[in-house]
């Protein structure tokens, strides 16, 4: 082998090794961030869907996030998470992900694994599709298949068709509306349907399972009993007269518990200053 070629090969190999190390670093820091996020009481959703559907555009529209948007396959190579405030002031963490495809190029496997982890851990999914694509049903099936392999196909999913500005009132669009009566039809570009999407997201948060941290007086026996009956308790810590509980529970129950605790504070059953300083479960 020519020495020049040998040198080039070595240089490429060193570059690949460096990339691998960097990727491992990214994966580690993402795992830490995610751990923090899991503890946080804010619900989270992942925007998933075939590449080029407009996922990054949607995240930018909803949050102002400065994410890369391009009319090419795999514009997004890493996941980005931003917080938005829903109309009822409820915060929601939204994650933009790497596009789904039928045959994933090898170089994207790492990046895509991160996407799958995000999808698996989120409270619910927003499955975004490009309504202007003739192959939209194939893209739908591909994404659902990948989600099924991940065991996330049963996850609560809000289906949304983007780019309706490109299709007008076509027969194809009417067909999609019939096939997906619960889907939201929108255009990130014109803004049509965005408000409806946000309302539906708020509904999902309210009715879905959420992770919350509560600080409950030990004297509130019935509330504690209810939580043990209806929630999955992840952590319990005794802190003086209080129990700090981290639980996964239906959003409506979380809201009811929060209201109960607020009422108790208002009636001075719990010291209100203690309540506002220490209670994290304000969601
Ligand atoms: N006409 C039209 N184009 C849109 C709309 N939303 C997004 N696009 C365009 O679609 C292309 C892809 O948008 P992205 O947001 O990068 O798509 P993505 O799903 O994040 O793509 P990947 O990161 O590759 O998976 C861009 O050229 C956008 O400008 C829309 O509502 N209408
Ligand atoms: Mg993208």
ipTM, interface predicted TM-score of the complex:
0.98
**For 40-204, CATH number?**
3.40.50.300
> Would you state the pLDDT for residue 40?
45
Specify which of 65-69, 107-111, 205-209, 233-237 reaches the highest per-range mean pLDDT: 233-237
Please indicate whether residue 70, judged by its CB atom, sits closer than 6 Å to ligand 1.
yes
Q: How large is the average pLDDT for residues 26-45? A: 63
Cβ(125)–Cβ(158) below 8 Å: yes
pLDDT value at 77 more than 80: no
Q: How large is the average pLDDT for residues 52-61? A: 93
- Give nearest CA residue, ligand 1 atom 24: 74
Indicate the helix (H) or strand (E) that contains 230: helix 221-230
Distance CA 213, CA 140 (A): 36
| Residue carrying structure tokens 């803004």 | 191
Spacing, Cα 3 to ligand 1 middle (Å):
46
Please indicate whether residue 78, judged by its CB atom, sits closer than 6 Å to ligand 1.
no
> Does the 209-278 domain belong in CATH 3.30.110.30?
no
Q: How large is the average pLDDT for residues 63-92? A: 77
Distant-in-sequence, close-in-space partners of 36: CB < 8 Å, separation ≥ 6: none
Starting from the CA of residue 162, give the closest ligand: 1
Mutate to test the pocket of ligand 1, among 49, 58, 69, 101 (most ligand atoms within 8 A of CB): 69
Please indicate whether residue 225, judged by its CB atom, sits closer than 6 Å to ligand 1.
no
What is the pTM (predicted TM-score) of this model?
A: 0.68
Structure token pair of residue 73: 């396959």
Atom of ligand 1 nearest to the CA of 59: 15
- Tell me the per-residue pLDDT of 170-221, one tens digit each, with 9 for 90 and over: 888 999 999 999 999 999 999 999 999 999 999 888 887 777 888 888 888 8
Angle in degrees, 0-180, between the axes of helices 251-266 and 221-230, rounded to the nearest 10: 170
Please indicate whether residue 182, judged by its CB atom, sits closer than 6 Å to ligand 1.
no
pLDDT value at 31 more than 70: no
Structure token pair of residue 265: 């504070």
């Amino acid at each position: 082998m020519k020495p020049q070629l040998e040198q080039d090969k070595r240089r490429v190999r060193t570059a690949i090794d460096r990339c691998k190390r960097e990727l491992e670093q990214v994966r580690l820091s993402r795992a830490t961030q995610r751990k923090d996020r899991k503890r946080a009481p804010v619900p989270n959703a992942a925007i998933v869907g075939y590449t080029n559907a407009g996922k990054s555009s949607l995240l930018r529209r909803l949050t102002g996030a400065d994410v890369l948007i391009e009319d090419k396959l795999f514009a997004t190579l890493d996941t980005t998470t931003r917080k938005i405030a829903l109309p009822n002031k409820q915060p929601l963490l939204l994650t933009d992900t790497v596009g789904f495809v039928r045959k994933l190029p090898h170089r994207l496997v790492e990046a895509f694994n991160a996407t799958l982890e995000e999808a698996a851990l989120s409270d619910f999914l927003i499955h975004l599709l490009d309504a202007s694509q003739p192959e939209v049903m194939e893209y739908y099936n591909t994404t659902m298949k990948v989600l099924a392999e991940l065991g996330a196909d049963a996850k609560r999913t809000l289906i949304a068709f983007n780019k309706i500005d490109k299709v007008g009132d076509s027969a194809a669009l009417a067909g999609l509306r019939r096939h997906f009566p619960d889907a939201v039809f929108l255009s990130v570009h014109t803004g049509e349907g965005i408000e409806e999407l946000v309302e539906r997201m708020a509904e999902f948060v309210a009715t879905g399972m959420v992770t919350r941290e509560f600080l409950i007086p030990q004297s509130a026996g019935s509330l504690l009993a209810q939580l043990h009956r209806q929630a999955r308790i992840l952590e319990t810590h005794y802190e003086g007269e209080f129990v700090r509980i981290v639980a996964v529970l239906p959003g409506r129950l979380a809201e009811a518990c929060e209201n109960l605790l607020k009422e108790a504070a208002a009636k001075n059953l719990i010291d209100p200053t203690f309540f506002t300083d220490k209670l994290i479960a304000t969601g």
